[in-house]
A and B are shown apart, each in its own frame.
Chain A
Amino acid sequence: MIAEIGLIALILATLFSLLIGVTPLLKRATKNINWLFATKPLAYSQLVFIGFAFFCLILTFCLNDFSVVYVANNSSALLPTYYKISATWGGHEGSLLLWAVILSIWNVLFAYKSDKLPIELSTTTIAILGWISFSILIIILFSSNPFERNLPFPPNAGMDLNPLLQDFAMIIHPPILYTGYVGFAIPFAFSCAILLTRHDLNPEITKWIRSWATASWIFLTLGIILGSWWAYYELGWGGWWFWDPVENASFIPWLIGVSLIHSLAITEKRKIFKNWTILLSFFAFIFTIVGTFLVRSGVVSSVHSFASDPKRGMFLLVFLAIVVICSLLLFIFRPQTNNDTVSFSWWSRETMLLANNWLLIVAAIVILFGTIFPLIIEALGLGSVSVGAPYFNAIFIPLMLVTSIFLGLGILLSWQKNKSAKTVLQMKKIAILCLTISIVLLWLVFNYELIYQGLASFAISWVIACCILDIKSKLQHKKSITDIKSIRLSYWGMQLAHLGFAVSMIGVLATSTFSLHKDVALSISETMHLGSYSFKFTQMEQKTGINYTTNLASIDVYHKQAYLTTMHPEKRFYQNNIPITETAINAGFWRDLYIALGEPLAADNNSWSLRIQIKTMIRWIWLGGLLMIVGALLSILSRRLLIKKTAILNDNLLQDIR
């Protein structure tokens, strides 16, 4: 019964999103402004219905209604309740519904906040979001209905949630990642609305989009960090990034998002690059759909792929084609024409930002190319290939090193034209300093063999030095605390985010260069040595959990002969005898100790294969990401404090009514 109610709610939500979409068209047809006042209430009601449908799906999971196909495939009666709830988005149908729910939440937030915008602009944006919502809901209803029943012979037990997904991160990682992903629909719809209503992308409006773009970028960053951390502790390989197609699918919009945020900053401050900014906001959302397509259609082999149905891929592909064609046509026929004709010299912040914008896009395209290359080869009938991590590293790392050089320059140079000879002199000084640092590191640490690492340390020290130099010169003329307080929060946000980028790079450099790794066979009471640590295998116990049995090992760790800790890696067996490795991690600021159990080598359970690793400074990678998030938060906060109540033209609204 609940499933049917849910389905009805879903159908109603679909109808409501269609209604949201047609209101501006009706206004245009009837010349009656009143239609526009219906848009926002319709958006609110749409959220109520889709939210209710989602709630019904969660309820069917909690009540173990295995006559619903989706529930039977992704849950079981023994599953703890919190995993039953997270199992709602554990499969294709539910995660697509989650996508749609999050889109509606963003839409309502936008509707709620958009009172200060001209009504035509805000309602057109909401209507475009309504159309997107409508398309996704149609895809859900016709190709992946989560409420479908398996009648008349329902199974009496569920197939269980994939044991790898029975984890705390599963509860938060997908919703957060999707929030970031789907959030790029707002800048997209907003840009479309600006072009449709022939509005100018003026600084106030740009500031507005920038907050929304930054907000969704924050969620996307957090989602990616969580995913990376989850893969690290769950998969048992000790890797933190695999260049897996699904990871790339979230990383490509992330890179475009970085470009978009910076390009919005230029448009806001300098009133230039308006068309480029709009194009980027299109790309960010288009690549979000590409990502959804790659993940959800099962066209690429990935660790995330589950058995899939090609029909779903077709639906998503058609949707993608419509979005691309419509937005590009709009862009071609209604470009922004009132760019300020200010020119800027080569030696300016604009140039550096533009260069990095471009490098990020190049990186995104190259990653996309590597991700879909196997598809292209297969479509051409040239056999089956896979593109490994070395390809992505060979391209992405050099691009990022060049990016860091431009990043530093961009921070130090001023807008339009650099006039200060002092800045150039300082730049030369810190360039020499960074060169010295990297040569010393090459000599002492990398033994002259790792030229790449030397280059990377130059790039990293360059970024840090430029940030510090800029902060120093900013503080130079500030005499008192109140003077320092007058510096805008967004300035600190910018510096923090850029330093976060450097911290992440340090983490990547250190982890990939200094980590130690050994696969061994150990019997009870045997000891093995790795670096300055010793690991003694002391005990193996069998235990029972809620819905699994486990082999729990105890390993004493000694650092230079002194006892440090005892670690407990596990090998669990879930329903259907599926084995899952639970790693033991001793986390630290400078290093992680990482142990994963392999398998028993003898029948008596006393000898096991073990994977033992020391990951140097791996936490820095995620720490850097968190710093970027805090930086972005500060910049949103700063703008919110500055927004004046009187901001955007109420007379625009009056004109609309006339």
Chain B
Amino acid sequence: MTVLHRQRLYIVLFFILGICIAITLAIVALKDNVNHYFTPTQIANNQIPLNKKIRGGGIVVPGSIQRSTDSLNTNFIISDGVNSVKVAYEGILPDLFTENSASVVVGYVNTQGVFIAKEVLAKHDSYYMPKEVKQAMDKAKESISKQINR
């Protein structure tokens, strides 16, 4: 092996080592930082991990938004057309958060089945429906139509 060959070998080994480190880093980091999405139906049926950060989403039910007058607490209900979940949030809501529009919440579900939201997201574009919410609503509709057909 010439000097040059040995050098090339080292470079290749170094690159492989780098890739291994990167993959390990990525997997470790992903394990803690991925938020799974659950539909209101799944949350209402308790098919969710307790005390783990999750994402939920649905349409904000008209007339369900209750704002406190002296603090930043807000309660509202999100629904996929069949089941619904109570959400409690303390903080400032995004501009596009309104009744009858889609919203995504990030947080925990407590033992009473209330979603304690740490973050509420509504999209830039008021015509845009988050993909997860749309799928959840389609799924819920499907299960209803199946029940009716029976």
A joins B in a complex: yes
Give residues in A with beta carbon < 8 Å to B: 162, 164, 236, 301, 303-307, 341, 343-344, 354-355, 358-359, 362, 365-366, 369-370, 373, 383-388, 390-391, 394-395, 398, 519-521, 576, 578-581, 596, 598-599, 601-602, 607, 609-611
Q: Closest chain B residue to A339 by CB distance? A: B4
Q: Closest chain A residue to B94 by CB distance? A: A236
Q: How far is the CA of A607 from the CA of B68 in the complex (A)?
A: 12
Which residues on the B side are within 8 Å of A370 (C-beta)? Answer: 26, 30
Q: How far is the CA of A305 from the CA of B127 in the complex (A)?
A: 11
Which residues on the A side are within 8 Å of B4 (C-beta)? Answer: 341, 343
Q: How many interface contacts (CB-CB < 8 Å) are there between A and B? A: 115
Q: How far is the CA of A580 from the CA of B95 in the complex (A)?
A: 6
Contact among B34, B123, B124, B125 with A386 in the assembled complex (CB-CB below 8 Å): B34
B113-134 interface (Cβ within 8 A of A): 123-128, 130-132
Which residues on the B side are within 8 Å of A307 (C-beta)? Answer: 125, 127-128
The stretch from B14-22, B80-88, B141-149 touching chain A is B14-22
Which residues on the B side are within 8 Å of A354 (C-beta)? Answer: 11
Question: B132 to chain A: closest CB distance in Å?
Answer: 5
Q: How far is the CA of A386 from the CA of B18 in the complex (A)?
A: 26
Do the beta carbons of B124 and A611 come within 8 Å of each other?
A: no
Do the beta carbons of A369 and B26 come within 8 Å of each other?
A: yes
In the complex, 18 of the A-B residue pairs with CB atoms within 8 angstroms, ordered by the A residue number, are A236-B95, A304-B124, A305-B123, A354-B11, A358-B15, A366-B22, A369-B26, A373-B30, A383-B37, A384-B36, A384-B37, A386-B34, A387-B33, A388-B33, A390-B29, A394-B32, A596-B92, A609-B72
Q: How far is the CA of A331 from the CA of B24 in the complex (A)?
A: 30
Q: How far is the CA of A304 from the CA of B124 in the complex (A)?
A: 7
Looking at B11, B33, B135, the one whose CB has the most chain A CB atoms below 10 A away is B33
Question: A399 to chain B: closest CB distance in Å?
Answer: 8
Q: How far is the CA of A589 from the CA of B36 in the complex (A)?
A: 40
Contact among A383, A580, A598 with B92 in the assembled complex (CB-CB below 8 Å): A598
Q: Does B62 contact A (CB under 8 A)?
A: no
Which residues on the B side are within 8 Å of A164 (C-beta)? Answer: 124
Question: B83 to chain A: closest CB distance in Å?
Answer: 17
Which residues on the A side are within 8 Å of B93 (C-beta)? Answer: 598-599
| Contact A609-B124, Cβ < 8 Å, known A343-B4, A384-B36, A601-B67 | no
Which residues on the B side are within 8 Å of A387 (C-beta)? Answer: 30, 33-35
Q: How far is the CA of A307 from the CA of B30 in the complex (A)?
A: 28
Which residues on the B side are within 8 Å of A304 (C-beta)? Answer: 124
New contact pairs (16) apart from A366-B25, A369-B26, A385-B36, CB-CB < 8 Å? A162-B125, A303-B123, A304-B124, A306-B128, A358-B14, A358-B18, A362-B21, A370-B26, A384-B131, A384-B132, A390-B32, A390-B33, A578-B95, A578-B96, A581-B95, A611-B92
Counting from the closest, the 10 A-B pairs by CB-CB distance are A598-B92, A391-B33, A384-B37, A394-B29, A390-B33, A362-B22, A579-B95, A391-B29, A385-B34, A384-B132
| Contact A519-B34, Cβ < 8 Å, known A307-B125, A365-B22 | no
Q: Closest chain B residue to A164 by CB distance? A: B124
Q: How far is the CA of A247 from the CA of B33 in the complex (A)?
A: 19
B84-108 interface (Cβ within 8 A of A): 90-93, 95-96
Do the beta carbons of A520 and B72 come within 8 Å of each other?
A: yes
Q: How far is the CA of A579 from the CA of B93 in the complex (A)?
A: 12
Which residues on the A side are within 8 Å of B112 (C-beta)? Answer: none
Which residues on the A side are within 8 Å of B55 (C-beta)? Answer: 386
Q: Closest chain A residue to B126 by CB distance? A: A578
Which residues on the A side are within 8 Å of B29 (C-beta)? Answer: 390-391, 394-395
Q: How far is the CA of A359 from the CA of B11 in the complex (A)?
A: 13
Q: Closest chain B residue to A600 by CB distance? A: B67
Question: B31 to chain A: closest CB distance in Å?
Answer: 9
Do the beta carbons of B37 and A162 come within 8 Å of each other?
A: no
Q: Does B1 contact A (CB under 8 A)?
A: no
Q: How far is the CA of A394 from the CA of B34 in the complex (A)?
A: 13
Q: Does B71 contact A (CB under 8 A)?
A: yes
Q: How far is the CA of A306 from the CA of B131 in the complex (A)?
A: 11
Do the beta carbons of A519 and B72 come within 8 Å of each other?
A: yes
Do the beta carbons of A386 and B70 come within 8 Å of each other?
A: no
Contact among A358, A366, A388, A601 with B26 in the assembled complex (CB-CB below 8 Å): A366
Question: A366 to chain B: closest CB distance in Å?
Answer: 5
Q: Does B7 contact A (CB under 8 A)?
A: yes
Do the beta carbons of B95 and A519 come within 8 Å of each other?
A: no
Q: Does B69 contact A (CB under 8 A)?
A: yes
Which residues on the A side are within 8 Å of B14 (C-beta)? Answer: 355, 358
Do the beta carbons of B96 and A391 come within 8 Å of each other?
A: no
Q: How far is the CA of A341 from the CA of B26 in the complex (A)?
A: 36
Question: B71 to chain A: closest CB distance in Å?
Answer: 6
Looking at B18, B34, B93, the one whose CB has the most chain A CB atoms below 10 A away is B34
Do the beta carbons of B125 and A306 come within 8 Å of each other?
A: yes
Which residues on the A side are within 8 Å of B71 (C-beta)? Answer: 521
Do the beta carbons of A386 and B37 come within 8 Å of each other?
A: yes
Q: How far is the CA of A344 from the CA of B14 in the complex (A)?
A: 16
Q: Closest chain A residue to B6 by CB distance? A: A343
Q: How far is the CA of A578 from the CA of B97 in the complex (A)?
A: 10
Q: How far is the CA of A304 from the CA of B125 in the complex (A)?
A: 9
Q: How far is the CA of A4 from the CA of B15 in the complex (A)?
A: 54
Which residues on the A side are within 8 Å of B37 (C-beta)? Answer: 383-386
Q: Closest chain A residue to B28 by CB distance? A: A394
Do the beta carbons of A519 and B19 come within 8 Å of each other?
A: no
Do the beta carbons of B124 and A343 come within 8 Å of each other?
A: no
Question: A345 to chain B: closest CB distance in Å?
Answer: 9
Which residues on the B side are within 8 Å of A390 (C-beta)? Answer: 29, 32-33
Q: Closest chain A residue to B3 by CB distance? A: A343
Do the beta carbons of A384 and B92 come within 8 Å of each other?
A: no
Looking at B7, B11, B72, B130, the one whose CB has the most chain A CB atoms below 10 A away is B72
Which residues on the B side are within 8 Å of A394 (C-beta)? Answer: 25, 28-29, 32-33
Question: B62 to chain A: closest CB distance in Å?
Answer: 15
Do the beta carbons of A391 and B123 come within 8 Å of each other?
A: no
Do the beta carbons of B69 and A383 come within 8 Å of each other?
A: no
Contact among A301, A366, A383 with B130 in the assembled complex (CB-CB below 8 Å): A301
Question: A70 to chain B: closest CB distance in Å?
Answer: 15
Do the beta carbons of A602 and B34 come within 8 Å of each other?
A: no
Q: How far is the CA of A344 from the CA of B8 in the complex (A)?
A: 11
Question: A235 to chain B: closest CB distance in Å?
Answer: 9
Q: Closest chain B residue to A390 by CB distance? A: B33
Question: B114 to chain A: closest CB distance in Å?
Answer: 20
Q: How far is the CA of A164 from the CA of B90 in the complex (A)?
A: 25
Question: A578 to chain B: closest CB distance in Å?
Answer: 6
Do the beta carbons of B128 and A609 come within 8 Å of each other?
A: no
Which residues on the A side are within 8 Å of B128 (C-beta)? Answer: 305-307
Q: How far is the CA of A499 from the CA of B135 in the complex (A)?
A: 48
| Contact A391-B34, Cβ < 8 Å, known A343-B7, A398-B25, A521-B71 | yes
Do the beta carbons of B36 and A383 come within 8 Å of each other?
A: yes
Q: How far is the CA of A359 from the CA of B124 in the complex (A)?
A: 34
